[in-house]
Amino acid sequence: MAEVVKMPKMSDTMTEGVIAKWHKKVGDKVNSGDLIAEVETDKATMDFESYQEGTLLYIGPKEGEAVAVDAVIAVLGEEGEDYKSLLEGDSSASKEEENKEEASSNTEEPASDDVDEDSPSVSAEDLGCTVITMPLLSDTMTEGVIAQWNFKVGDAIKSDDAIADVETDKATMEVTAYAEGTLLYIGVEAGQAAKVNDIIAIVGPEGTDVKPLLKQQPSSSGKVAKSEEAKQESKETKEEASGSTASASNASDDSRVKASPLARKIAKEKGINLNDIEGSAEGGRIVKKDVETFVPKAKEQPSAPASAATESKTISLPQYIGEEKYTEQKVSQMRKTIARRLSESLFTAPHFYLTISVDMDNAIEARGQINAVAPVKVSFNDIVIKAVAVALKQHPAVNSSWQGDTIRFNEHVNVGVAMAVEDGLLVPVVRFADGKSLSHISAEVKEYGQKAKAKKLQPSDWEGSTFTVSNLGMFGIDEFTSIINSPDGAILSVGAIQQVPVVKDGAVVPGNIMKLTLGCDHRVVDGATGAAFLQTLKGLLEAPIRLLA
């Protein structure tokens, strides 16, 4: 009998996996234990072995496609067996949900739609009206908030009137009517938000019934607004052409010049007369870039006395034209999980930070003596891990985690070691670090580092930490703060050893100082508790002989 093969959950944080490679194809025989695919999880690329036997009848996702955990990825059975009913059964639940959502959305539609279905559609042009929609005032804008209305229903509107101020994601900007008539309808009250292209106002002949326009689909109203705007702009172009002689006599007045609200605002701030600028938009309309790139022409000055020959010269800078470019890369499973877990930690756990300076003179001397006899080279990070493990045994409150209704105080010490890899960050765990020697810790961390770079870490390697150490000292970072690796209650950020002048026995002498910053979850670790832990850790690092006791 045919059986479905589902995307397995290969780590505690995995929500979906990417099929990196298929090792079998449809029609191949598969035995229990055979490698059928490689799956890229949020931690590493792992082998997926079959627990079933049979012929591979169906493969769902292609290589490179992401699949949710427990979704069907393949079907095994007897050669020629009909398996389509299994796939239909798997999707029945999702189809049922879609039907429910569709039914609920149908019930939410207004009853008036049924009435208007057979009635002829009425356009704004038929009524002689202009529909004003929420304009797209910035490249990232999805909605705007009406900061204030400058007119009320019944007021007469001119084409260049700013009828409202709209607060976008960038700034507060004016919305120009581009229509003449009476303000017949206001769709959004001051302080409320409207999506881009939603109807916010209607202008037209006084007394016009605008209800038929409000019953139209939003898409049609958007088209109407665009056509009306184009019509109005062409009308204004003709008016400007016929009134060119009149504008020449009053060149200083630029209130009738076609310009966007933002362009008009920038010109006013720079003291530029819009009559002097040539617009690049449709119909000669002046936009932001026209004002920003405008270079004033030198005006002819009347003959001046010789004393004015020393007047200052204007400096014009050449215009630099560049090209905006970017590339986009698909987010990896590891990066998705890092983003989700760290966001959950930062926005759930109330973080606070404590920083302390440690004199590393004795640790430097001790490391040299240890490496003279140790089977593997011990790093400063290995010494920090060992010191952290010993200090945690003395301060169990820091070796704890928030469980909601309870606080778990861990009696074992498992130290997670943050490691940077090509796609992000992994945190393998040195288990029972308090009982291991420096050489043992060093060898284990080096092995984890090699496995991490080769993407060979297994879930058992990164699960179960009770505390985390993050070290950026090798990059020359003096000090920094880290986000807690949930569910741990704290994380230690280790900076570089800096050679600085220090005071010893009343004299200024060269010293080697390292800064440690403890990030704490305030739900389980209080300030005094974290400070006491750092004091113990400082004492162990400044007298490392105590780590060998």
Based on the fold, state whether residues 17 and 164 are members of the same structural domain: no
Q: What is the mean pLDDT of the chain?
A: 82
Please give the share of the chain, as a percent, with pLDDT higher than 70.
82
Query: Taking 70 as the threshold, does the pLDDT of residue 306 lie above it?
Result: no
90 pLDDT tier (thresholds 50, 70, 90): low
Residue 483 maps to a domain = yes
Residue 406 maps to a domain = yes
Query: Taking 90 as the threshold, does the pLDDT of residue 436 lie above it?
Result: yes
Whole-number pLDDT of residue 449: 93
Q: What is the CATH number of the domain that holds 351?
A: 3.30.559.10
Based on the fold, state whether residues 198 and 346 are members of the same structural domain: no
Enclosing domain of residue 181? 124-209
Using the 3D structure, point to which of 168, 192, 209 is the last residue of a domain: 209
Contacts of 312-321 with C-beta under 8 Å, sequence gap 24+, read 319/293, 319/295
Based on the fold, state whether residues 48 and 181 are members of the same structural domain: no
Whole-number pLDDT of residue 351: 96
Residue 278 maps to a domain = no
Residue, of 134 and 98, whose pLDDT is higher: 134
Using the 3D structure, point to which of 209, 237, 259 is the last residue of a domain: 209
Based on the fold, state whether residues 394 and 449 are members of the same structural domain: yes
One DSSP character per residue, 227-258 reads: HHHHHHHHHHHHHHHHTHHHHHHTTT--TTS-
**DSSP state at residue 423:** T
Most confident of 22-31, 225-234, 514-523: 514-523
Which residues pair with residue 105 across a beta bridge? none
Which residues pair with residue 415 across a beta bridge? 430, 467
439 pLDDT tier (thresholds 50, 70, 90): very high
Residue 270 maps to a domain = no
Whole-number pLDDT of residue 252: 59
| C-alpha count within 13 angstroms, C-beta hemisphere, residue 339 | 7
Per mean pLDDT, which range of 147-156, 270-279, 464-473 is the poorest? 270-279
One DSSP character per residue, 171-209 reads: -EEEEE----EEEEEE-S-TT-EEETT-EEEEEESTT--
Q: Which DSSP helix (H) or strand (E) runs through 58? A: strand 54-59
Question: How many separate domains does the chain show?
Answer: 3
Based on the fold, state whether residues 463 and 524 are members of the same structural domain: yes
Based on the fold, state whether residues 382 and 472 are members of the same structural domain: yes
Please give the share of the chain, as a percent, with pLDDT higher than 90.
39
Q: What is the CATH number of the domain that holds 31?
A: 2.40.50.100
Kindly state the tokens that stand for 541. 């690092």
Most confident of 11-15, 304-308, 483-487: 483-487
Based on the fold, state whether residues 62 and 202 are members of the same structural domain: no
Based on the fold, state whether residues 456 and 366 are members of the same structural domain: yes
202 pLDDT tier (thresholds 50, 70, 90): very high
Query: Taking 90 as the threshold, does the pLDDT of residue 176 lie above it?
Result: no
Query: Taking 90 as the threshold, does the pLDDT of residue 333 lie above it?
Result: no
Residue 79 maps to a domain = yes
Question: Which residues are marked as active site?
Answer: 522, 526
Kindly state the tokens that stand for 197. 């292209």
Residue, of 503 and 93, whose pLDDT is higher: 503
Whole-number pLDDT of residue 301: 52
Residue, of 204 and 548, whose pLDDT is higher: 204
Using the 3D structure, point to which of 71, 88, 105 is the last residue of a domain: 88
Residue 150 maps to a domain = yes
As a whole number of Å, the CA-based R_g of the chain is 35
Based on the fold, state whether residues 136 and 75 are members of the same structural domain: no
Based on the fold, state whether residues 67 and 129 are members of the same structural domain: no
Q: What is the pLDDT of residues 398-418, one digit of tens each?
A: 999 999 999 999 999 999 999
Residue 430 maps to a domain = yes
Question: Rounded to whole angstroms, how far apart are CA atoms 93 and 75?
Answer: 19
User: Model-level pTM?
Assistant: 0.57
Based on the fold, state whether residues 407 and 475 are members of the same structural domain: yes
Based on the fold, state whether residues 42 and 152 are members of the same structural domain: no
397 pLDDT tier (thresholds 50, 70, 90): very high
Q: Give me the mean pLDDT over the 150-156 stretch.
A: 92
Residue, of 294 and 514, whose pLDDT is higher: 514
Q: Give me the mean pLDDT over the 100-107 stretch.
A: 48
Strand 45-49: give its sheet, edge to edge. 45-49, 35-40, 16-22, 66-68
Query: Taking 90 as the threshold, does the pLDDT of residue 254 lie above it?
Result: no
Question: Rounded to whole angstroms, how far apart are CA atoms 529 and 532?
Answer: 5
Query: Taking 70 as the threshold, does the pLDDT of residue 231 lie above it?
Result: no
